[in-house]
Every structure is written in structure tokens, then in C-alpha cells.
Amino acid sequence: MKSYPFERRSWAEPYKIKMVEPIKMTDPAERRAAIAEAGYNTFLLRSEDVYIDLLTDSGTGAMSDRQWAGLMMGDEAYAGSRNFHTLRDAVERHYGYRYTVPTHQGRGAEHLLSKLLIQSGDHIPGNMYFTTTRLHQELAGGVFVDVVIDEAHDPANTHPFKGNVDFDKLDALVAEVGADRIPYVCIATCVNMAGGQPISLQNLTALRRWCDQHRIMIVHDMTRLAENCYFIQQREPGQESRSIAEIAYDICKLTDAATMSAKKDPMVNIGGFLAMNDEQLYDKACNLAVIYEGLHTYGGMAGRDMEALAIGITESLHDNHIKARVGQVAYLGDLLNRSGVPIVQPTGGHAVFLNARAILRHIPQEHYPAQALAAALYADSGVRSMERGAVSAGRDPKTGRDRMPKMELVRLTIPRRVYTQAHMDVVAESVVDLYHHAEKIKGLRFTYEPEMLRFFRGRFEPIEP
């Protein structure tokens, strides 16, 4: 496994800046008022009150001059837009999937796919859950089953492929419910909820064999495919001289269908798609798309956005792009590691995850330490992050009780091509300061709890000791 910094020279961006967007500087009193007004939920802040926005890398990337040029080539015909054909050609050329249905974003694709493949009482194994993915599986009557390796749930473990599947867990599930109640295995590349951790080509190849034996499909959540490919290139024996594009093609070839949130890897502000190789499934997906998304040749996207997406797919697979992208995340991770701040190891592909449980030892999980840390970080420096812990995990649909995940994390997500190394320095300084004064941070309780995906719109208040 190669270590950072790569080779003997620093990573640096393979682009230069030709347009800037000014950001507002706020003072501590303004930020304390803003986060209180937002109910201590960073999702409810106004973005203009945020200095460095690390809430998400979703739709927040900087498009290239070529992508912006693509916007001018929109063919906004209701049916059969030229841009749809450009998009579907790009998907087939780079990912190998024969059929593409555009959707308004990733969850649109998840909705269609879950409705098509899941029957009530089915079980859907996955290498860890993702919020919208699991919810659509549950809404379709399915039960999500986590089959990721145990190492993925241990933030200190440095396993190079924490997105790998544990075949003992899969075998146990088949023994319990039978292969015919498992329509597909859902595989995320660079598993978001594990900290942006990759699955190896070897593990996925073994999964293909296992699924063929049991006649089970593999659905690929390909939102962060390029980042996963980079880790394979850097860490997996025999892969070091292969290009990101070659590895990406191989991964997709091992899977049957895919959902994509185009707001991540391919760097557009909105969009997504469902892709697959089976013609009958495609036909059914088109019928559902017409009901829920839009005609099957635009599915909720403007023609111009499909053009920018097609260009973004190509750019996302350039070796120099992904080296700088993951390199910037590693840079922030290294700064925090050197200061002794507990973060998820190894640093992931899109984000640095703070281990809020280890940082705020005085706050019990029922008082949502990660939510409290995210609020405190904003108040300290205007840096916006996101909770990934008990609030995001929600309640168990059967018992109604809080699900208490092993990991209680704050995600510092780096948008693609947006911030500089100096911004990363400011973020690290603020986190280190909070770490040294952690005892001042108080736990939180809900004052308003939405029924579903409560982390988006929930409101909180501090618990006075």
C-alpha cells in the first residue's frame, strides 16, 4: 500500500481558477445566533452564513469550462433529446451498462429500482446502509441487511478495503431466509457511511461468483466509483499500473445494474440515472420513470444538464483529477492525524470523519454527540459539517426506538475542485481547537423530530447539565 504524499512530489490540482465566488466572513456572535436559530442542525443554516461548506460533496462541485460550455448545447426537446443520447453513450463507453434511464437525482433511481426488484418481505444485503437507499428498500417492503466486514464498523481499524463484503454474513442470510427472498445484493463503491471506504476488485469478483451460484443480481450504488478505483489502483496488488478508467469499467462489468447520484463523481449540480444490462428490466424502468420522474429520455433532467453530466463522467475518470481530489481529502486527514484528533482510519475518498464519541466522551450517545460537535464546529469557525450517527440512523421501523450505530461521526465532506489547501488549514485549526476544549460542548435533545430522514429537518436544544 503506497502512502501519502504520492511519489516524491505533492499532489496539486490539474486546473487553474478562472472565476471566483466571494464568501461571507461572520463573527462568533453571529454564528452562535445562526446555529441556535437553525435548531442546532447544520442542514437548517442559511448557506450565506457559512464560511467553508463541508456539509456534503453532493451537487457542490465546480464544473469545468467544458461542462459550462455543454450547458449551452442543451437540446430541450421533450422527447429524444440529443443530450440524452450523448449521456447514454458516455455511460455505455465508460461504465459498460447498455441501458440508461435519467432521473432527477440518485434517490429517484433508487425509488424506481426498489419498486421494480423488491417484493414485500424480501431481504436486501448491502455493504452498509445509505440513508435514502435503505429507506426506498423499506418503502418497497424490503428489509436491509448489513453484510459489510466487521472492520468497517471500527473507526480505528486501518483495513485497506473496509467496504468489502463478509461472505459468512451472506451465507447466514441465505440459510435463514433462502436465496429466493434476496432479489439483489446492493454494493456501494467507496462506502459513504463507513467513511468513504473502498471495496476491492478481488472481493467484488468473489461476490460475482457467489451471486451467480445463488442466482442473485448485483446492484451497484456507483455514486463514488472513481474514488473507489483510485484506492484500488493505490492499494490492490496487480492494479497499480492500470488507469482509473480501466478499473472503473471492470467494476461495472461485475454488476448487473446501477444507481448513480450524478451530483457526486460526475460533478454536476443535479441529476442521476439508473443503468442496467437487462432489456426487460429497462423496459419496466422506463414505464415507472414516466410516472415518477419524466419521459424516459429526460427523467427529470434538463437537456443541458445531461450534456454537462456526460462531460463530467469523462472528467471524473481522469487519473490526475482523482489523484488531486483524493489527495486534498488525505491532506486534511493528515493534518488532523498529526494533531491526535480521533478520525476514521484510513482517511476516505470524499470526506474526513471525526469520531465524535472519542472526542466528546462526556456526552452519552442518547444526547447525540456528533450532532453537538457539528453545531460547535460551525459556531467556532463557520465551517459547516454533517452528523452521521444516531440522528441519521433514525428509529427502527419495528420497535420505534432510536437505532444506535456503533459509529457516531461528524463528516467533513470536501466538494470537488472548490476549496484550496488554505481552506483545509483553517478547518483543521478549528477542529483541533474544539478537540482541546471538548468539555465545553453540551449534548442535545430533539425539539422537533420529523417522521422520516429526521436528520434533514430535525430541531434540537442543548441539554444543560
Ligand X SMILES: *Cc1c(COP(=O)(O)O)cnc(C)c1O
Q: Which is nearer to ligand X, 265 or 380 (CB)?
A: 265
User: What minimum distance in Å lies between the beta carbon of 119 and ligand X?
Assistant: 22
Q: How many separate helices (H) and strands (E) can be counted in the chain?
A: 17, 14
Q: Which is nearer to ligand X, 105 or 371 (CB)?
A: 105
Q: What are phi and psi of 38, to 5 degrees?
A: -85, 10
Q: Which residue out of 53, 122, 221, 380 is catalytically annotated?
A: 221
Q: Which is nearer to ligand X, 281 or 351 (CB)?
A: 351
Mode of pairing for the β-strands spanning 459-462 and 444-448: antiparallel
Asked if 455 is an active-site residue, the reply is yes
Q: Which is nearer to ligand X, 127 or 233 (CB)?
A: 127
Q: Are 447 and 461 in contact (CB under 8 A)?
A: yes
Instruction: Out of 49, 53, 166, 221, name the contact with ligand X by CB under 6 A.
Output: 221
Residue type, 68: W
Q: How far apart are the first and last CA of the chain?
A: 46
Q: What are the residues whose beta carbons fall under 8 Å from the beta carbon of 119, sequence distance 6 or more?
A: 141, 183
40, 369, 438 from 28: Cα distances, Å: 15, 21, 17
Instruction: Out of 41, 127, 133, 328, name the contact with ligand X by CB under 6 A.
Output: 133
Asked if 406 is an active-site residue, the reply is no
Candidates 39-47, 125-133, 328-336, 370-378; binding stretch for ligand X (CB under 6 A)? 125-133
Instruction: Out of 39, 61, 70, 106, name the contact with ligand X by CB under 6 A.
Output: 106
- Per CB under 6 A, 392 contacts ligand X: no
Number of chain positions touching ligand X (CB under 6 A):
15
Radius of gyration of the chain (CA): 21
- Per CB under 6 A, 105 contacts ligand X: yes
Instruction: Out of 272, 303, 312, 369, name the contact with ligand X by CB under 6 A.
Output: 272
Asked if 78 is an active-site residue, the reply is yes
- Per CB under 6 A, 297 contacts ligand X: no
Cell numbers placing 285: 424502468
CA angle 99–103–108, rounded 5-degree value: 115
Asked if 401 is an active-site residue, the reply is no
Sign of CA dihedral 154, 160, 165, 168: negative
Could you give the CA distance from residue 233 to residue 221 in angstroms, rounded to a whole number?
20
Asked if 209 is an active-site residue, the reply is no
Question: Which residue is nearest to ligand X, using beta carbons?
Answer: 106
Residue type, 446: F
Candidates 126-134, 166-174, 297-305, 433-441; binding stretch for ligand X (CB under 6 A)? 126-134
Q: Which residue out of 40, 95, 130, 144 is catalytically annotated?
A: 130
23, 29, 130, 134, 323 from 172: Cα distances, Å: 52, 54, 22, 20, 38
Asked if 388 is an active-site residue, the reply is yes
- Per CB under 6 A, 111 contacts ligand X: no
Residue type, 359: I
| Neighbouring C-alpha atoms within 13 Å toward the C-beta of 399 | 7
Instruction: Out of 173, 188, 194, 379, name the contact with ligand X by CB under 6 A.
Output: 188
Q: Which is nearer to ligand X, 58 or 239 (CB)?
A: 58
Cell numbers placing 403: 437505532
Q: Which position has the grid cell 472565476?
A: 19
The count of other CB atoms within 10 Å of the CB of residue 106 is: 25
**Contacting ligand X within 222-241 (CB under 6 A):** 223
User: What minimum distance in Å lies between the beta carbon of 262 and ligand X?
Assistant: 7
Q: Which is nearer to ligand X, 207 or 274 (CB)?
A: 274
Q: Which is nearer to ligand X, 261 or 297 (CB)?
A: 261
Q: Which residue out of 388, 411, 416, 417 is catalytically annotated?
A: 388
Q: Which of 279, 326, 271 is nearest to 298 (CA)?
A: 271
- Per CB under 6 A, 58 contacts ligand X: yes
Candidates 72-80, 261-269, 391-399, 420-428; binding stretch for ligand X (CB under 6 A)? 261-269
Q: Which is nearer to ligand X, 153 or 242 (CB)?
A: 153
Cell numbers placing 171: 451465507
User: What minimum distance in Å lies between the beta carbon of 187 and ligand X?
Assistant: 11
Asked if 129 is an active-site residue, the reply is no
Q: Which of 39, 100, 67, 78 is nearest to 286 (CA)?
A: 100
Catalytic positions are: 78, 130-131, 221, 264, 388, 455
By CB under 6 A, name the binding residues for ligand X: 58, 105-107, 130, 132-133, 188, 192, 221, 223, 261, 263-264, 272
